[in-house]
Amino acid sequence: MSTHMSTPATFTVGLVQMRSGLTPAANLETALKLIGDAKTAGADYVQTPEMTNIMDIRRERMLATVVPEENDASLARLRELARALSIWLHVGSLAVKVSPDRAANRSFLIDPAGEIVARYDKIHMFDVDLAGGESYRESNSFKSGECAVAADLPWGRLGLTICYDLRFPALYRALAEAGTSFIAIPAAFTKQTGEAHWHILIRAARHREWLLRAGGRAGRPARERALDVWPFTGR
């Protein structure tokens, strides 16, 4: 938890860290509890990690489990919770089906009335080959987004990004030009890439005059930590 000065008032940020598994219903119950804990601790805005509803690298099984946004029970419950707690809830991302053979890695910003005020589909797919034989092809299962997204909070304008987007400065330049005060980076980096890049890239990004909210996934295989970074204003 941390409290930051902004206009018109202070606000408190809660970053949820959880280890999503293969079962959306179980993941949802964990998220609901942790969001409630954040509210109890005084959070006005709560962010969950990337892939809050499921983490499954097996394409066929994942696509057989996820559903379109309009049918997603996790999203419906999360909207209800935002309304019940009267908080701004930023769902780091959910896997939602957009075609028979693709899902979207989609963030949702939900207001205290439970309304979805912004959606962002992850643009930069995590297609990498790592030392030791690890290989990931996010583009085999997910359709990449096409547009940068920013949305207004009571305390300033928020830029929405997800995980591997952090490697691509053009997106952050576009969000800066859109007048953002804050950048959200919910993530599920792998252990290897998290150790190599997560903290380094977050520290590099803070040299922009932004406040960075980076909610990470806990446990193996992802090992990054949640970070809430003050803007660096020195020259």
| Residues involved in catalysis | 50, 122, 163
Q: How far apart are CA 53 and CA 93, in angstroms?
A: 8
Count of CB atoms situated within 10 Å of the CB of 64: 10
Yes or no: say if 45 and 14 are a contact pair by the CB < 8 Å rule. Answer: yes
Residue 134 has, within 13 A of its CA and on its CB side, a CA count of 12
Return the half-sphere exposure (C-beta side, CA atoms, 13 A cut-off) of residue 18: 30
Q: Is the dihedral of CA 174, 180, 182, 185 positive or negative?
A: negative
* Order of all β-strands in the sheet with 149-153: 149-153, 156-160, 182-184, 211-214, 227-229
Q: How far is CA 109 from the centre of its chain?
A: 10
Q: Which parts of the chain fold into alpha helices (H)?
A: 24-40, 59-65, 73-85, 169-177, 191-193, 199-205
Angle between helices 73-85 and 24-40 (to 10 degrees): 10
Note whether 167 and 192 are within 8 A (CB).
no
